[in-house]
A and B are shown apart, each in its own frame.
Chain A
């Protein structure tokens, strides 16, 4: 999104932002293409949708509110383990499982937001990192509940709506993930284009001035952090339900770092940044899956350095800068 031009009043500015653009509709229609073009890759497509949702949740706090988190996987993991444990102990209904996971993750998010909202800079980075690592250790040592490093085994997910079984080809999984992604995306889109979303951007841009004009900074941050945690929990629950198992990796530092990379690659502070970043990252990882993971890290590292140095607003930021330049020339 380009820098806002001051219009006659804020309501009409927000309403103009809120309008769906044709390119967005094309994007969501294109999300249906895997069903016809790549039916062998539906499992990957569903993983991309889930990871995109996770990246979107990070975008809300990082891209819009400016909270750098190195421990966002904590909420993803809480959602995944909640859904997994529910399913393992007799309640395999997916949609209520999703909602319960979101509620549990939101509660965890709210509790940690009480701490998070008070800090900035290095202390903030370290506290998010520390909380994430703490939860990872808890999940690792609570072997009786989570299965520890062996992963959570023995999940029985019931068919979706009682009709659609989760099949081996990922047909149900992708449909389900895509619909959930779309619903949550529309909600996030509404949120970002509301006065509340504008206040978040204000906090990101000027930490000290926002309280001076009467915005309750800490309350705003607590709110968005809780919402983002709930969304991350939904993403985690989706992964648990579609894959049928939860590994310790779901709550690891690696996952927090990966999602940060994806978001920055796509472009933080843009609604589609996380989803586009997840697409590029996951497809690249799938294509290069033949090489050993340590060499995969080489390319990711190089990519990160290049993005920071050359494309400070990610792929989408670079694209929109190109388009703007082309428009102003013609």
Chain B
């Protein structure tokens, strides 16, 4: 009785960790600039395709592709931020939604043109395949690896935000942007760096997600909804909130899929609408 439940919990947490990697950047940048960036998952998709290309066409090992996925997604996001996004920081929600949905549409078409609409296969190293058994619970090695990576990144992020100068600037700018500017913090620059880092993490998440959920040109749309749910439930600009929300949504989704397959994604949407009606700023949001 315990073992299946623990198994579902573990899968849910692993899936939640994936969602966390995909969404934490969006949470921070939304909290910073109030910019509704629906193209966030397009950067994740870019990271995924970088990994696929390097592995399948150039024979790179899986681990060597991950930093490249991170850097590529971050670099692409900076280019877009400097050329398009920055003009709309003061624009309405609607304009931001439309611009970024437009970018997702274009990314879908470009990915389909370059790679076709089929799901891309990759082969992870042998030692990440199969599963190990702990106290009668089967734990897939890859998911264990995912939880480990996400845990390391969470620690690094929280340390970075709480204990570095840059982190203090980010926190100041999220809390009160005008005051932060008044104190001489270069908020635009802080935002550009945070945006690049967040998109880079999304790219890394996209690369890590291939083994679990696959990669096709519609990735930017499919996961956009999950990421938005995590961000709005967790609260803007809160790393801990994103982590908690991602795990909550991950477990809700996996439990729903295992025990109530007829309901589909119903359960998650219900959780989201419920949480937002109860707390419009999310579980850990301040504004």
Instruction: Please tell me if A12 contacts chain B, counting CB pairs below 8 Å.
Output: no
Contact B280 A119 (CB under 8 A): yes
Contact B97 A141 (CB under 8 A): no
Interface residue tally for chain B (C-beta within 8 Å): 45
Contact B269 A134 (CB under 8 A): yes
Q: Which residues of A contact B156 (CB under 8 A)?
A: none
| Known interface pairs A123-B232, A295-B109, A301-B106; A68-B97 also in contact (CB < 8 Å) | yes
Q: Which residues of A contact B105 (CB under 8 A)?
A: 297-298, 300-301, 304
Chain B contact residues: over half helix, strand or loop, or mixed? helix
Q: How near does chain A come to B213, taking the closest CB pair, in angstroms?
A: 18
Instruction: Please tell me if B147 contacts chain A, counting CB pairs below 8 Å.
Output: no
Q: Write the B218-247 contact mask toward A (1 if CB under 8 angstroms, else 0).
A: 000000010011001000100000000000
Chain A contact residues: over half helix, strand or loop, or mixed? helix
Q: Which of A250-276 contact B (CB under 8 A)?
A: 253, 257, 260-261, 264, 268
Instruction: Please tell me if B138 contacts chain A, counting CB pairs below 8 Å.
Output: no
Q: How near does chain B come to A147, taking the closest CB pair, in angstroms?
A: 16
Contact A140 B102 (CB under 8 A): no
Q: Which of A70-123 contact B (CB under 8 A)?
A: 70, 115, 118-119, 121-123
Contact A264 B94 (CB under 8 A): yes
Q: Which among B34, B87, B102 is the interface contact of A304 at CB below 8 angstroms?
A: B102
Contact A68 B266 (CB under 8 A): no
Q: Which residues of B contact A292 (CB under 8 A)?
A: 112
Contact A257 B101 (CB under 8 A): yes
Q: Which residues of A contact B98 (CB under 8 A)?
A: 260-261, 264, 304, 307-308
Q: Write the A111-147 contact mask toward B (1 if CB under 8 angstroms, else 0).
A: 0000100110111011101110110011011000000
Q: Which of A287-318 contact B (CB under 8 A)?
A: 292, 294-298, 300-305, 307-309, 312
Q: Which residues of A contact B87 (CB under 8 A)?
A: 309
Instruction: Please tell me if A240 contacts chain B, counting CB pairs below 8 Å.
Output: no
Contact A308 B99 (CB under 8 A): yes
- In the complex, residue of chain B having the shortest beta-carbon distance to the beta carbon of A303: B102
Q: Which residues of B contact A129 (CB under 8 A)?
A: 225, 228
Q: Which among B36, B110, B217, B270 is the interface contact of A134 at CB below 8 angstroms?
A: B270
Q: Write the B254-281 contact mask toward A (1 if CB under 8 angstroms, else 0).
A: 0000000011111001101100110011
Contact A137 B265 (CB under 8 A): yes
Contact A301 B228 (CB under 8 A): no
- In the complex, residue of chain A having the shortest beta-carbon distance to the beta carbon of B263: A141
Instruction: Please tell me if B210 contacts chain A, counting CB pairs below 8 Å.
Output: no
Interface residue tally for chain A (C-beta within 8 Å): 43
| Known interface pairs A134-B266, A301-B109; A127-B94 also in contact (CB < 8 Å) | no
**Distance of A140 Cα from B277 Cα, bound (Å):** 24
Q: Which among A68, A115, A131, A301 is the interface contact of B94 at CB below 8 angstroms?
A: A68
**Distance of A304 Cα from B104 Cα, bound (Å):** 11
- In the complex, residue of chain A having the shortest beta-carbon distance to the beta carbon of B221: A253
Q: Which residues of B contact A296 (CB under 8 A)?
A: 109
Contact A294 B117 (CB under 8 A): yes
Q: How near does chain A come to B252, taking the closest CB pair, in angstroms?
A: 13
Instruction: Please tell me if B139 contacts chain A, counting CB pairs below 8 Å.
Output: no
Contact B266 A138 (CB under 8 A): yes
Q: How near does chain B come to A41, taking the closest CB pair, in angstroms?
A: 26
Instruction: Please tell me if B113 contacts chain A, counting CB pairs below 8 Å.
Output: yes
Q: Which among B95, B106, B236, B265 is the interface contact of A298 at CB below 8 angstroms?
A: B106
Instruction: Please tell me if B45 contacts chain A, counting CB pairs below 8 Å.
Output: no
Instruction: Please tell me if B88 contacts chain A, counting CB pairs below 8 Å.
Output: yes
Instruction: Please tell me if B108 contacts chain A, counting CB pairs below 8 Å.
Output: yes
Q: Which among A118, A126, A141, A304 is the interface contact of B228 at CB below 8 angstroms?
A: A126
Q: How near does chain A come to B198, taking the closest CB pair, in angstroms?
A: 16
Q: Which residues of B contact A180 (CB under 8 A)?
A: none
Instruction: Please tell me if A62 contacts chain B, counting CB pairs below 8 Å.
Output: yes
Contact B269 A127 (CB under 8 A): no
- In the complex, residue of chain B having the shortest beta-carbon distance to the beta carbon of A137: B266
Q: Which residues of A contact B162 (CB under 8 A)?
A: none
Q: Which of B193-233 contact A (CB under 8 A)?
A: 217, 225, 228-229, 232
**Distance of A131 Cα from B277 Cα, bound (Å):** 12
Q: Which of B22-39 contact A (CB under 8 A)?
A: 30, 34, 36
- A: residues with CB less than 8 A from B are 62, 68, 70, 115, 118-119, 121-123, 125-127, 129-131, 133-134, 137-138, 140-141, 253, 257, 260-261, 264, 268, 292, 294-298, 300-305, 307-309, 312
Report the 8 A-B pairs with minimum CB-CB distance, sorted nearest first. Answer: A301-B105, A298-B109, A304-B102, A301-B106, A294-B112, A305-B102, A123-B280, A130-B273
- B: residues with CB less than 8 A from A are 30, 34, 36, 84, 87-88, 91, 93-95, 97-99, 101-110, 112-113, 117, 217, 225, 228-229, 232, 236, 262-266, 269-270, 272-273, 276-277, 280-281
What are some 16 contacts across the A-B interface (CB < 8 A)?
A68-B93, A119-B280, A122-B36, A123-B232, A126-B229, A126-B232, A126-B272, A130-B229, A134-B273, A137-B269, A297-B109, A298-B109, A300-B105, A304-B101, A304-B102, A305-B99
| Besides the known contacts A130-B229, A130-B276, 20 further A-B residue pairs in the complex with CB atoms under 8 A apart | A122-B36, A123-B281, A126-B228, A126-B229, A129-B228, A133-B225, A137-B269, A141-B263, A268-B94, A294-B109, A295-B113, A296-B109, A298-B113, A304-B101, A305-B99, A307-B98, A308-B91, A308-B99, A308-B102, A309-B87
